[in-house]
Amino acid sequence: MDDTDIVLEVDGKNIPMNGFVRKILFGMVKGSIEALRDVGSDWKTVSINLKR
């Protein structure tokens, strides 16, 4: 696992991402998670499920 290990699935279908997109998406999620009061920088995994 590298420092940008992230998977995007939409309706159960894996969406391929190139390195640039993977790095941007990972950075946005990582930064948002670490800004939360009860989350430290030593977290191991994060799961986010969106429904609309």
> Per residue in 35-48, pLDDT tens?
999 998 888 999 99
- Say what the pLDDT of residue 18 is: 95
Cβ neighbours of residue 15 closer than 8 Å, sequence gap 6 or more: 8, 9
- Say what the pLDDT of residue 5 is: 86
| pLDDT tens for each residue of 1-34 | 456 789 999 999 999 999 999 999 999 999 999 9
- Say what the pLDDT of residue 3 is: 64
pTM score, whole prediction: 0.77
22-50 exposure pattern, b = at least 16 Cβ within 10 A, e = fewer: beeebeeebeeeeeeeeeeeeeeeeeeee
Task: Check: CB of residue 31 under 8 Å from CB of residue 23.
Answer: no
Cβ neighbours of residue 8 closer than 8 Å, sequence gap 6 or more: 14, 15, 17, 25
